[in-house]
Amino acid sequence: MPPTASTSRARPTNASAISAARKPSKRRLSRWSNVSAERRNQKQPKPATARVFFALWPAPEVADRLGDIADNAALSFGGRATRRDTIHLTLAFLGNVPEARLPELSKAVASLRAEPFAINVNQLGFWAHNHLLWAGCKAPSAHLDALSSQLRQALARAGFRVGGEGRDFVPHVTLVRRVPEATAPSESHPLPSIEPFIWHNERFVLVRSTLSALGSSYRIIDEFPLTAGLST
């Protein structure tokens, strides 16, 4: 009889069965892996932030006095005079801080103890590099320097970075911004002298700054009384 073709009816080996079973599983893993990669590549929303700083905030009569000086200086040298409702002396600038951490800021400095003090505003100055005209004190104020130093140390201990870190604290009140180079103070057009006056301080404040095309607007979000001797 002629040979006949045989058809194998043998079952798949265990190895081939396992191999066949694994193939769909590999495809599923690849699909989930792609989804995970897509999720990783998606931009996560940034936390809301607030632009904040600590400052001395003048009483209305002091703000008016400084505002008059600012208006006169802007007429003489050009530039944009600071609005009376935004006049202040910055103690520590933090920039953008997550809104969720704002309570930590207040807590970090709440234990500071400082007594009320006065500063003698008796000079005008001009910084050519940023076209800024300011008012300040000819002589350093020990109370002001100590308050700023302790404030910055407390913020650093709480994990906050302060602008100007590593640079000397130069207390000043910004009066005029964007003074044109052509009309800026110079030897032939010097800054005028001002009549000295006293600025009494009984608190410092935490301020939130909002930038717009019209300039900065400020809102005091916390305040801290000056009531006792400086802590050590």
In DSSP terms, 201 is beta-bridged to 117
Print the domain residue range for 146: 49-225
Q: What is the pLDDT of residue 163?
A: 79
Within a domain: residue 121? yes
Q: What is the pLDDT of residue 214?
A: 72
Within a domain: residue 63? yes
Check whether 217 has a pLDDT greater than 60: yes
Check whether 186 has a pLDDT greater than 70: yes
Within a domain: residue 232? no
For the entire predicted model, the pTM comes to: 0.76
Within a domain: residue 87? yes
Count: domains in the chain: 1
Within a domain: residue 101? yes
Within a domain: residue 64? yes
User: At 133, which CATH number?
Assistant: 3.90.1140.10
Q: What is the pLDDT of residue 17?
A: 47
Q: What is the pLDDT of residue 143?
A: 94
Q: What DSSP string describes 100-164?
A: GGHHHHHHHHTT-----EEEEE-EEEEETTTTEEEEE-SS--HHHHHHHHHHHHHHHHTT---TT
Express each pLDDT in 7-65 by its tens digit: 444 555 555 544 445 555 555 555 555 555 556 666 667 778 999 999 999 999 999 99
Q: What is the pLDDT of residue 8?
A: 46
